[in-house]
Chains A and B, each alone.
Chain A
Amino acid sequence: MGIAQRILEGDIRAASRLMRDIDDRMPSALEPLKELYPKTGRAYIIGITGPPGSGKSTIVDKMVDIFRKEGKTVGIVAVDPTSPFTGGAILGDRIRMQRHATDEGVFIRSLATRGCLGGLTRSTQDIINVMDAMGKDIILVETVGVGQDEVEIVNTAHTSIVILVPGLGDDIQAIKAGIIEIGDLFVINKCDREGADKMERDLRMVLEMGRKREDGWEPPIFKTEAILGKGIFELVYGIYRHKQALEQNQALEKKLRERTKTTFLEILETEVMAHFIEKMEKEGQWDKIIEDLMNRRIDPYSVAEKVMAEELKKH
């Protein structure tokens, strides 16, 4: 039986091995991914992002309780950073979620960024697809702890949640571009701490001042104390409200169309690049082109045009 078939029949080991092959960028991962693609697109994908230590893993853990009580199955992708010096990583997001490790309705996968800068990994979308094909109803994607500009999650999730905590700086921090723009829902976690109310006021002001969103959605703010489970129920129902709003005004359809296009173009780009690089290497031009560029004997724009023109002539 093929790998894809085994995954569709519920073989956990086959699924986790395929995820490994995807993450290690093994060419062998491609065939099963092709087979699984038609079985994807059913899961609802929720992104959770925020600074390190803001409580992302704990909030994920508590939300899982609610989803499971509702009978939904859950996949979790949790990203932690790779050391730029050794290439190693300590993946510790499971610590907060381990009580779900024996629940057959929950599948947790930890990933290391491996040099990817947007808060996710290169493999994230494909790994989500595997979980989707496994039949998970909800897929929670927890980004690496982010600063201001790691917004890749917005191209992956249906609903993006930005988690903040009091005491991270003045209100100007929140006016800056970046993660503050991508939240469909905002959470002020550890709201028992001093400054939570002021933070909520500041954030509300920033959100009201901001440009109106095309889809008309006004991002709500939730206050939580995740460790005690406070505010999590409200948050989950906030997600459902956002989902409903997306579905009602065709924003979801638009979002998915845009995303499908981006993903396809990325894959096409990789293929095309690989083709040209292989060709230039095989014909022994690669080193010469680089050498000539280095010495300014030629310019890269003309070379690119020439390579393309030669390719088109062939057909």
Chain B
Amino acid sequence: MARKIRVLIAKPGLDGHDRGAKVIARALRDAGMEVIYTGIRQTPEQIANAAIQEDVDVVGLSSLSGAHNNLFPKVVQILRDKKAEDILVFGGGIIPVDDIPGLKKAGIREIFQPGASTEDIIKYIHRNVQLE
């Protein structure tokens, strides 16, 4: 049996708009991945722990509230603290272009802005996740 890509889609912070996250989860499922969806209002600790317990390859973070500069880097930091820096973290949602360099510097490997297609995200994951 071949390896299956496992992805965690999570919404850190307080906004309750999860349509986007659900669309992504659905698209990744249809691309044959196992997607763990943890729902809205997650703390960075909850997200990082779930990523580790579920042994995912990728974490996708979605935020529409403007708290991304604070919350996204925290998820990466906690993963590092727990020696899980190999888990790829990407983000999406309402994120101003000016914030992107800072987020990338903090270890969020890619940011998908409104208008990005689900195809782009699937391709990105396939390109960046190597399963033994």
Contact = CB atoms under 8 A, between A and B. Distances in A.
Are A and B physically bound partners? yes
Interface of A: 12-13, 16-17, 19-20, 23-25, 82-83, 86-92, 94-95, 98-99, 101-102, 107-110, 112
A98 B35 contact: no
B36 A98 contact: no
B59 to A, nearest CB: 13
Given A20-B55, A102-B43, A87 B32 contact: yes
8 contacts: A16-B54, A87-B32, A89-B29, A90-B26, A91-B35, A94-B54, A98-B50, A99-B46
B52 A13 contact: yes
Contacts of A88: 28-35
B78 to A, nearest CB: 10
Given A82-B34, A88-B30, A92-B39, 18 more contacts: A13-B52, A16-B52, A16-B53, A16-B54, A16-B55, A17-B55, A24-B1, A25-B1, A91-B35, A94-B50, A98-B39, A98-B46, A101-B45, A101-B49, A101-B50, A107-B53, A108-B54, A110-B36
Interface residues of B, number: 32
Contacts of B50: 94, 98, 101, 108
Nearest to B9: A90
A108 B45 contact: no
A94 B45 CA distance: 14
A19 B50 CA distance: 14
A89 B37 CA distance: 10
Contacts of B39: 92, 94-95, 98
A16 B82 CA distance: 13
A86 B49 contact: no
Nearest to B43: A102
Contacts of B52: 12-13, 16
B61 interface: no
Contacts of B25: 90
Contacts, number: 90
A102 B29 contact: no
B55 to A, nearest CB: 4
A153 to B, nearest CB: 21
Contacts of B46: 98-99, 101-102
B36 A94 contact: yes
A13 B82 CA distance: 9
A92 B54 CA distance: 12
A23 B37 CA distance: 19
Interface string B6-33: 1000000000000000000110111111
- 3 smallest A-B Cβ distances: which pairs? A88-B29, A95-B39, A16-B55
B117 interface: no
Nearest to A83: B29
A95 B31 contact: no
